[in-house]
Structure 1
Amino acid sequence: MKKNKYKAIIYIILSAFSFAFMFAFVRMAGELPTFQKVFFRNFIAMLIAVATLIKTKTPFKIEGKTNKWVIFVRAAAGTAGMLGNFYAIDKLALSDASMLNKMSPFFTIVFSYIFLKEKLTPFQLLTVIGAFIGAMFIIKPSFANAALFPSVLGFLGGMGAGLAYACVRYLGQHGVHGKVIVAYFSGFSCLVTLPYLLFLGKEMSISQILCLIGAGCAAAGGQFTITAAYTHAPAREISVYDYSQLIFTMLLGFFLFGDIPDVWSFVGYFIIVTMGVLVFLYNNVWHAEEKGEKQPG
């Protein structure tokens, strides 16, 4: 059990690293319709997912009526969340868009509690709320001064992603392979966005194509690792670690776009990282001692 938890933490940090690069590539792709960016991002991810299924000889099958409905909800919520997220990336500051998307771990815990009946202690809830408060220090310009529409879409994007990850947790518990989940979601998103690409898509330059290919590759890495994370441990134990994406996004924003967060943003980063450390200590030290579990070392 502990080994799975540690694996999940590593997976979710790797996914945060991958998705941070996806953010950067999406921004570097320039002025293209949101549906077009989402299509190419998922088309690359779908090719990688299908190739992985073939290479590992993993059958593409989803058994059980409930699993089929849940994977559909995962794909629909994930696609809606991605559309909101990509729109926010194009219209808001990169760090603001990232923070709106980082509402997803909070919603994952809420949805896991509501639909999966996973236990949520008051201490864990407080740490998630603390992380949410930290996010508000970083996102402060968006709700007050930025355009309301992209801010709301970005926030709803985080909600959609949170529901999608809760569905991933359920599917992992009920025998659906992670590679199948990624392939299904990627294919679903491509089908939804393809009509918009055909009728409203714009011609792309070589650099824009390369950026979207990079976004797709980074997204595929993020999808595989985030799927692995939520199939190895409950959302309440690992979701806060997804906020590590803030650090990666901040570094990429500085080196690629010259972004320098202000003092309030650094306050937000500090609060969120602190909450992550507290959750880790609670789940792996304090809570384990309460149960009488022997600590390693």
Structure 2
Amino acid sequence: MVTIGTSSLEVYPLALGGNTFGWTTDEDASFEILDAFTAGGGNLIDTADSYSAFADGNSGGESETVIGNWTAKRNNRDDVVIATKVSQHPDFMGLSASNIVAAADASLARLQTDHIDLYYAHYDDETVPLVETLGAFDALVNAGKVRYVAISNYSPERIREWVDTAKDNGFAAPVALQPEYNLVARSDYEGERQQLALDNDLGVFPYFALAAGFLTGKYRTQDDFTTHIRSTMAKGYFSDSGLAVVSALDDIASAHSAEISSVALAWLLAQPGITAPIASASKISQLLALLAAPELTLASDEIDRLTTASDAV
């Protein structure tokens, strides 16, 4: 287990993404995945209040509802760490103080809990002064509705401003950062964000850790991109240089008798500041490879080979 930044939260170094729950995975299948994840040692579930408003027929909050139903049925709320986010639900857009409070209460109701362990600002809202946004997050912490606050999809400048504003006003400091980061998308984290995370002891949770499935190795040709709803997300990573990364992953996976996805996640875990990659599963059979990643130790030359291949993307 690893500790999230300066918090007291301890988590398995692989987070389960809840974006498929209530979207491509129905409630029964979601329960099976959640059961298997926790049985395998996992305890951090990452979601957002907007999941999955982007899907036809959904209005947002579906993922939180599934997770809330699961914890209620299993009576295991205290055994898991739940992270969710605010600013993108169609009914609760933005980061004004009143909106954050209302959105948090709505999330708590869907999750059937009295507290959110880790509450992210999902996307920046530059129309609202940071002091107002941070004051609202701080009030939720003081009220016991949120244990810790975190940041996702913020520019380095705004992360720095958030940290300074919290310090200057005595607000709850952020403990985590969630950037897009994987072997075929490194620029969002490496550099300034990485240094800010290290300097401020922020736990880092890369999303799209497997590049929407591209780094599992199942997309080797254009023909592999079917009409499946999630394949369109992976298609954005497809390129000759991306395929070279997959080929390197394949070689290293074979040497370890491991899955390609395990190796891709293990590379992430070997990078400075990374606490736990976030990866989702639409079926239980995919979970074993995800949960195996923290136990897979790559040799330095294997890490270097993957990094070099990735440099060309």
- Return the TM-score normalized by structure 2: 0.27
- Return the TM-score normalized by structure 1: 0.28
The structure with higher relative contact order (CA 8 Å, sep 6+) is 1
